[in-house]
Amino acid sequence: MNRRTLLIPELGDDGLEIPYFEIEGKRDGPTLTLLAGVHGAEYASIAAVREFVRDLDPHKISGRIIAVPLVNVPAFWARSAFVVPADGKNLNRCFPGDLNGTFAEVLAHHVFSSFITHSDYLVDLHAGDIPEGLEPFTMFEESRVESASLDLAVSYGLRHVMRQSIAARTVAGSTASASADIGIPSITAESGQNGLLDRISIETHLAGLQNLARTIEVLDGDPLPKRQVIVHEGWHWLRSERAGWWQPTVSTGASLKSGDLLGTMSDVWGEVFAEVRAPEGGTLLFLTTSPAVSADGLLLGLAKN
Ligand SMILES: [Zn+2]
């Protein structure tokens, strides 16, 4: 296993260093790239990549595994949820990046050109960030390689799988969408919540990575039988027009009907000014758990059934 560092000279006073691992297998095969910490406080996913590479044996690998446990180094040190501290941008909306752009866009450019473009498969690990509850799911993008992306998602073993059509991309500029757009099968894998380092969420990612790597035959061993999954075709991301106190009345993973009450928004005096209801039936995959919601703030993600 080789420990390497990607140096980005344009960022910071002395350049930004991103540590990563390169594990060269003893036999030929594809290149599997793992990213975590694109959001720097999604600790369960970062922990999973750290642990996964530690236990890898090159004799059991065909091809190559590139593993970047912490992409967004400045966000990690700042304990910054969702955004890069230098410019306030969400790195996972900036891909494939721009060498002449702001901090996040330059970072995205280097991550894309140094790691993603050389991959045969990409897995970008995430979790719910500090103010965010989450039901585990995988997500893939409509593209010419989407059946291979769906296979990756199914092999990760989580019950809920989100397919995002290009027309209805709630998340543009993600690692997975930028990869899919250049023909690299890719998924976003989500397990963990609220910035917690909980063992179950880490193990969920580890089991997913192992089974995925076996399925694409980068890692020796038989994959598990294919799990039945629910493929959701797009979703609703509900926002609050006004700033206020958000009080959800549902939990992540809940199966909801059209019109069900999801929570309320109230003012500083406790007066409810909005009831938030399900616009159609679906499954609640993520939920803002912090009551502090600013104007146009995101409340939850409801996957269509
Ligand atoms: Zn994330």
Whole-prediction pTM:
0.97
The answer to whether 241 and 295 are in contact (CB under 8 A) is yes
Instruction: Classify residue 2 as exposed, middle or buried by CB count within 10 Å of its CB (0-12, 13-18, 19+).
Output: exposed
Beta-strand pair 121-126/186-190: parallel
* Predicted confidence (pLDDT) per residue in 107-151, tens digit: 999 999 999 999 999 999 999 999 999 999 999 999 999 999 999
CA 265–ligand 1 middle distance (angstroms) = 25
pLDDT of residue 19: 98
Residue 255's Cβ-count burial label (10 Å; 0-12, 13-18, 19+) is exposed
By the CB criterion, residues less than 5 angstroms from ion ligand 1 are 39, 42, 126
The pLDDT value given to residue 226: 93
How far away, in angstroms, is 216 Cα from ligand 1 center? 24
pLDDT score of 166: 85
User: What token pair was written down for 81?
Assistant: 């949820």
Residues 3 and 94: beta-carbon distance below 8 Å? no
Quick: pLDDT tens for 217-241: 999 999 999 999 999 999 999 999 9
Give the tokens for residue 33.
């790239």
Place of tokens 């999973």: 48
Query: One-letter amino acid identity for 148?
Result: A
**Separation of CA 293 and ligand 1 centre (Å):** 18
Please calculate the CA angle 110-115-120 and round it to the nearest 5 degrees.
Answer: 145
C-alpha radius of gyration, the chain, whole number: 19
Number of other CB atoms surrounding residue 167 within 10 Å: 7
DSSP bridge partners of 233: 163
> CA–CA separation, 47 vs 44, rounded Å?
5
Residue 232, classified by CB atoms within 10 Å of its CB into exposed (0-12), middle (13-18) or buried (19+), is: buried
* Ligand 1 mean position, distance from CA 28 (Å): 32
How is residue 113 annotated by DSSP?
Answer: I
Kindly list the structural domains of the chain, giving each domain's residue range(s) and its CATH number in brackets, ordered by start: 2-231 (3.40.630.10), 235-304 (2.40.50.100)
> pLDDT tens, position by position, for the chain (305 residues)?
799 999 999 998 899 999 999 999 999 999 999 999 999 999 999 999 999 999 899 999 999 999 999 999 999 999 999 999 999 999 999 999 999 999 999 999 999 999 999 999 999 999 999 999 999 999 999 999 999 999 999 999 999 999 999 887 767 899 999 999 999 999 999 999 999 999 999 999 999 999 999 999 999 999 999 999 999 999 999 999 999 999 999 999 999 999 999 999 999 999 999 999 999 999 999 999 999 999 999 999 999 98
